[in-house]
Amino acid sequence: MQLLGFRDTLGVLVAAGVLILDQLTKALVVQHMALHESFQVIPGFFNITYVRNTGAAFGILSSQAPWIRSTVLVGSSLLAMGFILWIWFRDRGSSGSGVICLGMILGGALGNMADRVRLGEVVDFLDLYWGRYHWPAFNVADSAVTLGILMLLPSFVLSKKEESRH
């Protein structure tokens, strides 16, 4: 019996790639920039800005005690990763594109959880803005999770339509 088929191996490689790229880019930012330092990449649109997020998305929970933040955020990451793996193994017969998306989401979740466990906060540095309107800073892990979810949505919608036909 083969433990990992091509589909699973592909997903594991995607997850590992996202995790490595995320941790590498964060390490480079931490090593070469001072906290809150920023430099312009695309004027009026994109900066590299080193910040740390003690909370979840958009700073949610950042005002809570550190032990509450850690418990809730690491715990929810573990639950989310368990759910991703459940979907992964439940849909083993599906195409490789779904497992690529799940690998992106899993790798991103692992990347941010690694920061939370090691640092108690997440390193963010990608700063998109238009004029004076800034999107909250994010990182490679956040990007992979977002893209993975957006790429999965059409397949979920199509599968629901297919289920409703039967």
Domain borders along the chain are 7-131+139-160
Give the per-residue pLDDT at 2: 55
Active-site position among 22, 115, 127, 142: 142
H-only helix segments in the chain:
6-32, 66-90, 96-119, 140-165
User: Could you confirm whether 124 is annotated as catalytic?
Assistant: yes
Give the per-residue pLDDT at 91: 75
CB proximity list for 154: less than 8 A, separation 6 or greater: none
Give the per-residue pLDDT at 1: 41
User: Could you confirm whether 142 is annotated as catalytic?
Assistant: yes
Q: Token pair for residue 129?
A: 């803005």
Strand pairing report for 46-53 and 38-42: antiparallel
Active-site position among 22, 115, 124, 127: 124
Give the per-residue pLDDT at 88: 84
Strand pairing report for 38-42 and 122-130: unpaired
Q: What is the mean pLDDT of each run of 10 residues along the chain (166 residues)?
A: 74 96 98 98 97 80 78 88 88 74 95 93 96 93 96 75 59
